[in-house]
Each structure stands twice: as structure tokens, then as C-alpha cells.
Amino acid sequence: MSKVSVTGSKGVMPEVIETIHGLNLVHLSDYDGSWEGFDNGSPIEGAEDASEKLVTVRALKSTLALSEEDLDSDWRAQAVQIAAPVPNLDEEGTQSRAGAEQIQEDWRERLDEVRTRVNELDDQRDDARDELRQVQERIDRVAPFAELGIDLDLLSGYDTVDLLVGEGSQREVEEALAESDDVRAFETFTGGDVVAIVAAPAGGVDADPGGIIDDSLVGVDFQRHEVPETERGPRAYVGELEDKQTQLESEIDEIDAELERIKAEEGPFLLRVEEELSVEVQRAEAPLQFATSERAFIAEGWIPTEEYDDLVAALRDAVGDSVEIEELERASYDRHGSTHTEDIAQGTQKARAEKEDDEAAAEAESDDQQQKAVTDGGTTVTMGDEPPTIQKNPKGAKSFEALVNAVNRPKYNELDPTILLFLTFPLFFGFMISDVGYGLLYVLVGFYMFQSFERPGITSLGGVAMWCGAFTIFFGILFGEFFGLHELGYMIFGEEGAPMGDKGLSPATADFVYAWLIVAVALGVLHLNIGWIVDFAENILHGHGLWGAITHSGSWLLVLNGIWLWVFSAQAADVKPEWIYTTFDGQPFALGFDGFGMMTVFTVPGVVEAIPAIGGALAGFDVTFPLLMILAGFVLLGMGDPAELAEFVMPFAHVVSYARITAVLLAKGGMAFVVNLLAFGAVETQAGDRPFIAPWTGATPADGQVMFEGLFHMGPAAFVAGILVLIVGHIVVLLLGVTSAGLQGIRLEYVEFFNKFYEGGGKKYEPFGHDRNNSED
């Protein structure tokens, strides 16, 4: 990336802005206002009006629920071309400015007409919806009285008795009224769940009846209903309200249909106007990022170095020699992956200012002096900022940029971990699910997301899903599993079954659990080694030097590998789990690995004998190579950053965290097994196997103890239920596979892996310009 500067008089600033905008290459830097005599520029005339129009258009889009996806080829064919705000004259001058202004006036009038019509319809719809809501509330209030069957005028207006209508237990109401000293007599009427209560006060005819029922029902669960004010019967009143409700709903449907018609007719026009106004506003507000004086401006920004010549040529074609263009800095990676910034321009601004001081008109003299004041001392970069980041990854890995950016965009001088995420995350996910059936569904869902949506975030997730599905299929073949059934392994690999054996869900195959636990640990050690090696390289390349890399990253590498070499070494084997040494040396895999040897470097004699509690059980203490690695790592870490010694358990704890891979593998496999068990049934043999009672397995209840007979073997009704269990169950396992394997896998990447070398915080490369989709200049 190159930092460029464009300097000239304000008279050519609009042409410069239009040219740079058209190129869509320069990432503009923001001027911070630190120079004396230079301020941030002001928007070009017309920006406020364009902004107001843009707000109007976007409000109309929101009201009409208009989006790019609504525009098919037929809609685009209806579009009305919008002229640019200041169209250029052609060579023959056939397009006059008066004609251009007339075109602008025409589309502005059309926009006002659309806004007026849409706002009127929207207001009418809001009024109709408010009235409909009120009608529905009245229906809700009157409906209980319709159940009661008593005319509404009979439920109010009494002076000598109290009357209340509501919903509650008639028995509890009557008991409460019977026990009340304030009630002389009462009567209840019911209809459905509604209770009407009439009560006379205990004081006789002259007593005030107000509120005696409320007082008596304290503590009783009773929902009161307000009596509507109408002389009509409740059923007739509800009928009238329902007719009104139907009328209002029809009116709203008509308004919606009219808005849809406007959307179909004016949608292309509105999208074109929005795009044109967006361009106009973007251009008009560009000076806010410039450093400007009374008559001059300086604009700076970043551009891909290979595009610099195109920028110069375009500006020369537009304004000739009216501006000075300079490449101030060049930030790039060398062949080792290092980033460095090279000053290209040295004092050129000062020389230019002195030249302009001699040649400029008298009225520009003050601005020339200001420019010289700014550049005295040889300062060439006026707006100090880091280069923006352009992520360039292979096409297959491009989708994983979304997962990286969810944490933070990489800095320009930082390794983009997208390719590392691409190489490891699908591997973790696929191993945790490892089922051909689920993998095929993940690929299909991912392909649909990738092809059917235009939003980059969704298409990126679709690409990630396809890769994860592909690895799930790969490991599913190695495990010989299809929707939890293992017959695929026998079909592909013969009687010996899948090459990776079993997941360890049966008593006969429980030893496989230890194997997958060791595999998870090995993946963790490898993954963290990659992270700290990357950090080691970045420490060297970013100025910390070899010694800084050794103390900050090499120290952790020594501790990490020393700890796990020791865990799988022969030292203290009697206190370690036996399966560490037997899992890959006979059961279940005969690979000849029974752990690492002692790797003794030297022995300290008499150390153990000096400890009375041990009583001299051993002749001495063996100092092994792994222990020396751990000790050396901690010494180097203390020399580099003693505070990090507080995290001495990290290399062990973070690797153990990778055991979640095995946990999800077993959990998902167990869930799929249970779903198939409920549908097909299964038996447990004397050997400890758990085959399903299904025709293709050859297993029968006579082969062992029946775990569950299976819905498919329990009659027609149970057979139908079994189909539902099979479909819904596997859908649940599929979805939980995303949440468990996906979340656990990405957690390992973000927390255990990225923490070792990745900081983030870079700026996205956002060139000043606009890709036109709906409008033309």
C-alpha cells in the first residue's frame, strides 16, 4: 500500500473529488486538525439538500419494504435513468446545463409525487390499524358479556345494589360473599367462564352499595370486566364490531395492494435515485476529510501501490498540472513476510510550496506561506494513520474471513490467520461429527446459503458449512458411519469394518475413547505449537529481535512441548494412567507406540533417600530432557516478562481443553445411537457389542440382552411413531451438531489458538467511490 498526497487550489477540488471517486481506489485519511492555519473542509454546496433527499428515499424504501432482491430483470427494464447532478458536456456540446437541470427537476418532482402518495397511504394504513386495534379491544371486552347472555343495559345503573361482572371460580365467589358482613343478599349468574354478581348491602335500602362486592372478594382470584356503554345486546354489539373489523381489514389490504403497486412501478426509480444521491452526498462530504485553508486543500489516502500510476494519469487527464501528486510512503511485505514503511517523498511539499510562492497570484500568497509553515522541518506525511487491510486469501479460504473478522480484522503488519483457520476449523468440526449422512446435509445446506443469498455474511457461513460438511463426510467414511449406523464401514472396507474402528460407545469398544482422547490432546499440542511458532516469527519480524522472540514465544514452546513429552514419557509411569502406554500399542491400535522413553540427561543421587517420608525407595532423581525443557522455558519466560509466570499452567490447561473434541465426538455419536435405538431397537451381546435389530445388520433379540425392542417392531402405530422419532431425532442431532461442534471448535480457535499470536484491530480498506448497480453517470 502507498500513502499518497494530492495538493491543489480549491478551484479544482470538485474535479479532483469526482476523479478520485470514479477510480474507487483511494482509502482517504482523516485530517485531525493539528496544523496551524488548516482546518477540516466544509461540504460542497448542495450536500444538505442531497442528504435530505437521501433520507426521504430511504424512508420510502423502508415504508415499501424495498430491497435489491426485489428487482428482477423486468423491474430493471422499467427503470428511469437519473442524470448526474452536474453532467459533463459532450464534445459537441449537445447536452446543455439547462437540459441537465431540467432532468434533475423532473426526477425531483417525481420523487416528491411518490413521497406524497406513499406517505398518504401510510398514514391511512396507520389510522386504519389504530381503529382496527380499538375494535379488537372492544370485541375482547364485550365477548365475555355475549357468553353471559344478559343485555348490557341491565348490568349497570343501579343505586341500591352493587353489580360486578368478571371471570373466576363461582364457588369461591359465593363462599366469599356468604361470609362477608357487608352483604345482606346476593345472586350470581353464569355463562361460560363469566360470572355476574348482584349484591345488596347489609345496612338495608338506605345503605351505600358501592364497592361491597370488591371488598368481599379480597383474596379471591377474580378478573373484573368493565361493562361497555351501549344499549344494544352483547351479541348484536359483537356482531357489529366484527363487521367493522372485517371492513377495516379489507381497507388495510387495499392500501397494502396499492403500496405494492407503487413498489413495483417506482421501485427501480427509487433505487436509482438512492444510489445517485448516495454518490452525490459522498462526493459533497469528502472535504470533511481534507486539510483546507482559504484557497488550498491537501488530501491524503492509501492506495494499492500498483494502482498509483493510474491515479496520477487520471488526475492529470482531469485537471492537468493544477495539482501536485506525491507518493509519501510505501508499506509492504518483504519476501520473509515482514512489513516495513519506506519514505518515498522527502521535503517535496516544502519545495513545491516555495515554487508556488514564487508563481502564485498575490491573493494566494497567504495560503502558500501556510503550506510552507506546515512542511518546514521536512514533514511529508500530514495525517498519521496505519495502512488499511486488504485480505487476500485463496478462493476456497475466502469464506473464513468472516470468522476472523468476527473477532477483529487483522492489522496491516499482522499475519492474517484466515488460512490457518481454514486448515484447522473444518478438521476439528468434521472429526467431532464424523458422519457421512450429517456431512451431506451440511454440504447441501451450506450450498443453498452460498448460492441463494446476497448478504456476504450468509454466503460466507454457507462456504464454511460446505467445508465443514466435506470434512464430516471424510471422517464419516473413516468411521464407517451414516446417520449413526456403522454398516457403511462394512460395505466399503469389508468384514474388518472402518479403518478408524469405533467411537467407543459400546463396552466392547470402550478402549477407543482413550485413543480419541489422545488424538485430541495431540491436535491441541500441534495447534498451540503453530500458534506460538507464528508468534515467534512475528516477534522477530516486528522489531523484537531473536532474543525477544526466544523469551516471549520460544519460552512457551519449550514449556508446552516439555510438559507433554513428560506426560507421555516413561518417567513416573506408575502414577500415570496405563492407557497412555497401551492404547496405541495393542488395544485398540497396534501401532507400536508405548510412550516415550526416560530421556534421562543426568541423575541426582541421594535426593530421594534424604526424604524420610519416601524412605529411600529410589536411588536418585532422574533429570530428564522434558524436565530440562520445562525449566529452561520458565527461566527464559522470567527473563523476558516475569508477570507471565503467573500463567505457568497455560500450556497444560489449554491442551486439556482440546479434550472437548472427544467429548463432542462421543456425545453426538451417543445421541445418534439413541435415536436409532428407539426406532430399530438394539441388543447387547456377551462380547459387549450393541448391534441394532435391523434387517441389514443380521442381529436378532436372540443374540443377546434386548436393550429396547424398537418402535419398528411394536405394531403399525408404533411404526409410524418410529418414523417420526427417526426423522425428528436426526434433525435435532444435526442442529445440535452445529451448536456443539461449531461453537466448541470456534472457541478453540478464538481462545486457545488466536491468543498466542493474534491481536487484530486493523482498518478495512474502503476506497472512496461507489460501485454503481442501479444508476449511470
Contact 706, 681 (CB under 8 A): yes
Q: What is the largest CA-CA distance in the chain?
A: 112
The torsion angle over the Cα atoms of residues 252, 253, 256 and 257, rounded to 10 degrees, is: -140
- ∠ at Cα 536 (534, 538), nearest 5°? 70
C-alpha 25/C-alpha 606 separation (Å) is: 74
**Structure confidence at residue 199 (pLDDT):** 86
- Please indicate, yes or no, whether residues 625 and 550 belong to a single structural domain of this protein: yes
Lowest mean pLDDT among 339-343, 470-474, 692-696: 339-343
Residue 360 has pLDDT above 50, yes or no: no
Residue 376 has pLDDT above 70, yes or no: no
Write the CB contacts of 602 (distance below 8 Å, at least 6 apart in sequence).
623
Q: Which of 181, 210, 226 is the last residue of a domain?
A: 226
Residue 96 has pLDDT above 80, yes or no: no
Neighbours of 497 (CB within 10 A): 18
What sign does the CA torsion over 455, 457, 458, 463 have?
Answer: positive
Backbone dihedral angles phi then psi of residue 634, each to the nearest 5 degrees: -70, -35
Neighbours of 379 (CB within 10 A): 12
Q: 517: which strand partners?
A: none
**pLDDT over 90 percentage in the chain:** 30
Q: Which of 630, 648, 666 is the last residue of a domain?
A: 648
Beta strands in 226-295 (DSSP E): 291-292
Task: State the average pLDDT over residues 110-131.
Answer: 91
**Structure confidence at residue 524 (pLDDT):** 95
Buried b (16+ CB within 10 A) or exposed e, 315-340: beebbeeebbebbbbbbeeeeeeebe
Residue 759 has pLDDT above 80, yes or no: yes
**pLDDT over 70 percentage in the chain:** 83
**Beta strands 183-191 and 194-201: pairing type?**
antiparallel
C-alpha 514/C-alpha 563 separation (Å) is: 19
**Structure confidence at residue 111 (pLDDT):** 86
Going from the C-alpha of 625 to that of each of 185, 558, 571, 631, the distances in angstroms are: 98, 11, 11, 10
| Alpha helix positions (H), 156-195 | 170-179
C-alpha 775/C-alpha 66 separation (Å) is: 16
Q: Which of 627, 648, 669 is the last residue of a domain?
A: 648
Contact 711, 721 (CB under 8 A): yes
Contact 326, 349 (CB under 8 A): yes
Inter-axis angle of helices 511-539 and 418-433, nearest 10: 180
Which cell goes with 275? 444510489
Residue 258 lies in a domain: no
- For the stretch 244-300, pLDDT in tens is 899 999 999 999 999 989 888 888 888 888 888 888 888 888 888 888 888 888 899
346 band by pLDDT with thresholds 50, 70 and 90:
very low
Neighbours of 697 (CB within 10 A): 17
Residue 337 has pLDDT above 90, yes or no: no
Lowest mean pLDDT among 117-121, 461-465, 484-488: 484-488
622 band by pLDDT with thresholds 50, 70 and 90:
confident
**Structure confidence at residue 207 (pLDDT):** 67
Residue 738 lies in a domain: no
> ω into residue 228 within 30 of 0, thus cis?
no
What is the overall mean pLDDT for the chain?
A: 81
CB under 8 A, 24+ apart: contacts of 455-459: 456/402, 457/402, 459/399
| Residue 208: domain span | 157-226
CATH number of the domain residue 191 falls in: 3.30.70
- ∠ at Cα 486 (484, 489), nearest 5°? 135
- For the stretch 398-410, pLDDT in tens is 999 999 998 888 8
Lowest mean pLDDT among 438-452, 489-503, 590-604: 489-503
Which cell goes with 318? 482531469
Burial of 364 by CB count in 10 Å (0-12 exposed, 13-18 middle, 19+ buried)?
middle
Number of domains in the chain: 3
Residue 769 has pLDDT above 80, yes or no: yes
167 band by pLDDT with thresholds 50, 70 and 90:
confident
**Structure confidence at residue 90 (pLDDT):** 43
Query: What is the identity of the amino acid at 6?
Result: V
Q: Answer with the residue of higher pLDDT: 360 or 436.
A: 436
Residue 702 lies in a domain: no
**Structure confidence at residue 294 (pLDDT):** 84
Which cell goes with 235? 351479541
Residue 564 lies in a domain: yes
Task: State the average pLDDT over residues 458-465.
Answer: 93
- Please indicate, yes or no, whether residues 542 and 642 belong to a single structural domain of this protein: yes
Q: Answer with the residue of higher pLDDT: 426 or 318.
A: 426
C-alpha 526/C-alpha 630 separation (Å) is: 17
Residue 437 has pLDDT above 80, yes or no: yes
Residue 710 lies in a domain: no
Lowest mean pLDDT among 124-133, 156-165, 362-371, 695-704: 362-371
Residue 362 has pLDDT above 60, yes or no: no
Task: State the average pLDDT over residues 608-629.
Answer: 67
- ∠ at Cα 148 (145, 151), nearest 5°? 65
Residue 617 has pLDDT above 70, yes or no: no
Task: State the average pLDDT over residues 150-179.
Answer: 81
Buried b (16+ CB within 10 A) or exposed e, 233-245: bbeebbebbeebb
- Please indicate, yes or no, whether residues 308 and 201 belong to a single structural domain of this protein: no
**Structure confidence at residue 104 (pLDDT):** 63
Task: State the average pLDDT over residues 507-512.
Answer: 86
Which among 600, 594, 597, 428 has a CA at the least distance from the CA of 526?
428
Buried b (16+ CB within 10 A) or exposed e, 718-750: beebbeebbeebbeebbeebbebbbebbbebbb
**Structure confidence at residue 497 (pLDDT):** 77
Please state the three-class secondary structure of 65-123 as a single string. Answer: CCCHHHCCHHHHHCCCCCCCCCCCCCCCCCCCHHHHHHHHHHHHHHHHHHHHHHHHHHH
Burial of 207 by CB count in 10 Å (0-12 exposed, 13-18 middle, 19+ buried)?
middle
Task: State the average pLDDT over residues 210-233.
Answer: 78
Task: State the average pLDDT over residues 611-619.
Answer: 49
- Please indicate, yes or no, whether residues 197 and 298 belong to a single structural domain of this protein: no
555 band by pLDDT with thresholds 50, 70 and 90:
very high
- For the stretch 299-328, pLDDT in tens is 999 998 889 999 999 999 888 888 888 888
Residue 330 lies in a domain: yes
Task: State the average pLDDT over residues 446-455.
Answer: 89
C-alpha 109/C-alpha 740 separation (Å) is: 56
Q: Tell me, rounded to whole angstroms, the distance of Cα 280 from its chain centroid.
A: 32
Going from the C-alpha of 552 to that of each of 182, 325, 338, 750, the distances in angstroms are: 85, 43, 18, 20
**Structure confidence at residue 671 (pLDDT):** 93
- Please indicate, yes or no, whether residues 217 and 308 belong to a single structural domain of this protein: no
Q: Answer with the residue of higher pLDDT: 729 or 349.
A: 729
Residue reference for cell 488530501: 299
- Please indicate, yes or no, whether residues 541 and 630 belong to a single structural domain of this protein: yes
Task: State the average pLDDT over residues 516-531.
Answer: 95
**Structure confidence at residue 774 (pLDDT):** 52
Task: State the average pLDDT over residues 729-745.
Answer: 92
- Please indicate, yes or no, whether residues 219 and 299 belong to a single structural domain of this protein: no
Task: State the average pLDDT over residues 619-646.
Answer: 88
C-alpha 187/C-alpha 582 separation (Å) is: 86
Residue 242 has pLDDT above 90, yes or no: no
Which among 272, 275, 266 has a CA at the least distance from the CA of 64?
266
Contact 597, 622 (CB under 8 A): no
Task: State the average pLDDT over residues 322-349.
Answer: 60
C-alpha 380/C-alpha 744 separation (Å) is: 49
- Please indicate, yes or no, whether residues 509 and 621 belong to a single structural domain of this protein: yes
Residue 620 lies in a domain: yes
- Please indicate, yes or no, whether residues 322 and 210 belong to a single structural domain of this protein: no
On the CB side of 653, how many CA atoms lie within 13 Å of its CA? 5
Collapsing DSSP states into helix, strand and coil, what is residue 764?
Answer: strand
Residue 610 has pLDDT above 90, yes or no: no
| Alpha helix positions (H), 285-339 | 308-319
Contact 501, 692 (CB under 8 A): no
Inter-axis angle of helices 555-567 and 511-539, nearest 10: 160
Residue 500 has pLDDT above 50, yes or no: yes
Which among 448, 467, 454, 345 has a CA at the least distance from the CA of 399?
467
Which among 114, 106, 470 has a CA at the least distance from the CA of 262?
114
The single-letter DSSP state of residue 554 is I
- Please indicate, yes or no, whether residues 552 and 632 belong to a single structural domain of this protein: yes
C-alpha 94/C-alpha 679 separation (Å) is: 80
**Structure confidence at residue 697 (pLDDT):** 74
- ∠ at Cα 277 (272, 278), nearest 5°? 100
- For the stretch 55-87, pLDDT in tens is 888 898 888 888 766 655 444 444 444 433 434
Residue 115 has pLDDT above 60, yes or no: yes
C-alpha 184/C-alpha 201 separation (Å) is: 5
CATH number of the domain residue 327 falls in: 3.30.70.240
**Structure confidence at residue 60 (pLDDT):** 87
**Structure confidence at residue 204 (pLDDT):** 66
Residue 548 lies in a domain: yes
